[in-house]
Chain A
Amino acid sequence: MTKDPYETLGLQKTATEAQIKAAFKKLARKFHPDLRPGDAAAIARFKEITAANDLLKDPETRRRFDAGEIDATGAETRAERPQQPFYRDYAEGPGHAAQDGFADSAMMEEFLARAFGDQRGGAREPLRARGQDVSYSVSVAFLDAANGAARTITLAEGKTLQVTIPEGAEDRQMLRLKGQGRPGYGGGPPGDAYVELHIQPHAYFQRKDDNIHVDLPVTLREAVLGGRIDVPTVSGTVVMTIPKGSNTGTVLRLRDRGLRNRKTGQRGHQFIALKVVLPAAAEPDLVAFLEGWTPKHPDTPRKEMLT
Chain B
Amino acid sequence: MIRLEDLLATTEGLRPDDLARWIAAALVTPHEEAGEALFNAPGHARVQLLCTLRYTLDIEEETLPVVLSLLDQLYATRAQLRALAAAVMAQDAGVQQGIVAAMGADQEAMP
Residues of A in contact with B (beta carbons under 8 Å apart): 25, 28-29, 32, 34-35, 37-38, 84-93, 96, 98, 105, 107-108, 111-112, 114-117, 123-124, 126-127, 185
Contact = CB atoms under 8 A, between A and B. Distances in A.
B77 to A, nearest CB: 10
Given A87-B45, A87-B49, A126-B96, A108 B82 contact: yes
Say whether chain B's binding surface is mostly helix, strand, loop, or mixed: helix
B63 interface: no
B79 A28 contact: no
B71 interface: yes
B9 interface: no
Given A32-B57, A85-B41, A124 B49 contact: no
A63 B85 CA distance: 51
B29 interface: no
Given A87-B46, A115-B100, A123-B100, A29 B57 contact: yes
Contacts of A96: 79, 82
A127 B95 CA distance: 12
B1 interface: no
B85 A105 contact: yes
Nearest to A186: B93
23 contacts: A25-B56, A28-B57, A29-B57, A34-B52, A84-B48, A86-B49, A87-B42, A90-B41, A92-B78, A92-B79, A92-B82, A93-B82, A96-B79, A108-B85, A112-B81, A114-B100, A115-B99, A115-B100, A116-B104, A117-B107, A123-B97, A123-B104, A127-B96
Please list the 8 inter-chain residue pairs (A to B) with the smallest Cβ-Cβ separation, ordered nearest first.
A90-B42, A91-B75, A115-B103, A87-B49, A108-B85, A111-B85, A92-B79, A87-B45
B8 interface: no
Nearest to B52: A32
Contacts of B42: 87, 90-91
Nearest to A108: B85
Contact of B45 (A29, A32, A90): A90
B89 interface: yes
A144 to B, nearest CB: 30
A236 B85 CA distance: 56
A38 B78 contact: yes
A117 B101 CA distance: 10
Contacts of B71: 34-35, 87, 91
A212 B86 CA distance: 51
A111 B103 CA distance: 11
A96 B56 CA distance: 27
Contact of A34 (B49, B99, B107): B49
A123 B107 contact: no
Contacts of B93: 126
